[in-house]
Chains A and B, each alone.
Chain A
Amino acid sequence: MTARELTDALDKFQAINYFWNSFGISAYEATTVPEGANLGDFYITYEAVTDSLDRAVPMSASIWKKNTMSWEEVSQKAEEISDALSKVYTVPMQVGYLYITRGTPFAQRMSDEDESTRRIYLNIMAEYLAP
C-alpha cells in the first residue's frame, strides 16, 4: 500500500497529526489536552496551523520526557525528527501534500517547573501544497 493510499483521506489538520505521530511516540495537539491530563512519560505536543499554497507556516512542538534527569531520549527523538526532515518529507492529503521542513532554530532545550521533566522545543515550517 502506498503512502498516498494510506493517507489520502486526510485533511490538513489530520496530516499534521499524522506527521507528529510517525515517530514512535504519541503526539497530541496542545489545545486538545485537558489541564492535568496524564499523557504518559514520553510524548509530543504540537500546535496546528493551516494555510494554502505558497505560504510556509511556522509551527512548534515539544518533546516531553517525564521522571528523568537525562536528556538522552528527548535528544534522540529530536535527532530522529531532524533526520527525517533532512530529506524531502511530504504527507499526501485528500488534495495535495503537506510539505514539512526544519524551522530556525530547529531544536531548543527548555527548562520546566518540574525538575524531573526534560523538554525539547522544536520549530518546523509547513507548506500546504494544496488549495
Chain B
Amino acid sequence: MFTIVSEDAFDELQLDAGVLLSTFDITNPYTEPSSADIIATTTGGINPVCAPTYEDLAEDVDNVPNNMMEFKKLSGWDCSMSFSSIKFNAENIRWSLGAADTTNGTGYKKVVPRRDLAQTDFADVWWVGDKANGGAVAIKLINALSTGGLNIQTTKNGKGTNAVTLTGHVSIEHQSTMPMEFYDIDPQSNNG
C-alpha cells in the first residue's frame, strides 16, 4: 500500500555536475555562460555544503537533557564548496591560494602567496546545475575565499588535479547575510 511515489517525484532531480561561475544573472538564468565566467574545469563533481553550528546552552546544567530546544543557540553557518579542478593557469592558481598576487613576466606569469589577506581576495562564486524537468538550481557562495590553499596531485599517465575548498564569509557591512543562498529556477518555458 505504501510502496508508491508521487507522479511528480522525478521532476526535481538534479542532473550532471553543473558549473562554477564567477557571475550569474538569476533574473536571466538561461543565458549560456561565457567561458570567461567559468572559473574552473572540474572532475568528480562539486560539493556545496552549508552546515549550521549550534550551541547547547544547557549542556552543563544539571538535570537538563541534551538538546532541549529552548536552550539551543545558532552561532553561525559554515558554508563551502569543494571540488577538484583540472584547469591549471595563473588565475586558477592565484585564487586557489587565496591570498596571492600575479605578476606578468616575458612569456610567463608569476604567482606568489601574499603575507596578508586582502579584502579583494574575497569574491562571490556560483554553482549552477540542471534539473530533470529542464529547470535549474543555483547556489551562491558569498564572499568566497579559498581556505584549503593549493593542493595539487599529479598522476602517471593521467591528469593533474587541484583540490580546492572555497569558504563563504559574512561581511561586516551585511552582518545578517549568511554566506550561502539557494535558488530553485523554473524551467525555461515557464521562466519569463
Contacts and interface: CB of A to CB of B under 8 A. Distances in A.
Interface stretch (A11-19, A69-77, A88-96, A106-114): A88-96
A22 interface: no
B190 interface: yes
A53 B133 CA distance: 15
B15 A4 contact: no
A95 B132 CA distance: 12
Contacts of B16: 88
B187 interface: yes
B51 to A, nearest CB: 27
Interface of B: 5, 7, 9-11, 13, 15-16, 130, 132-134, 187, 189-190
A129 interface: yes
A88 B15 contact: yes
B13 A129 contact: yes
Interface string A51-95: 001000000000000000000000000000000000110101001
A99 B5 contact: no
Contact of A95 (B10, B133, B189, B190): B10
Interface residues of A, number: 15
B133 A4 contact: yes
Contacts of A130: 10
Contacts of A4: 133-134, 187
B135 to A, nearest CB: 11
A96 B134 CA distance: 12
B187 A129 contact: no
Contacts of A2: 134, 187, 189-190
A124 to B, nearest CB: 15
A46 interface: no
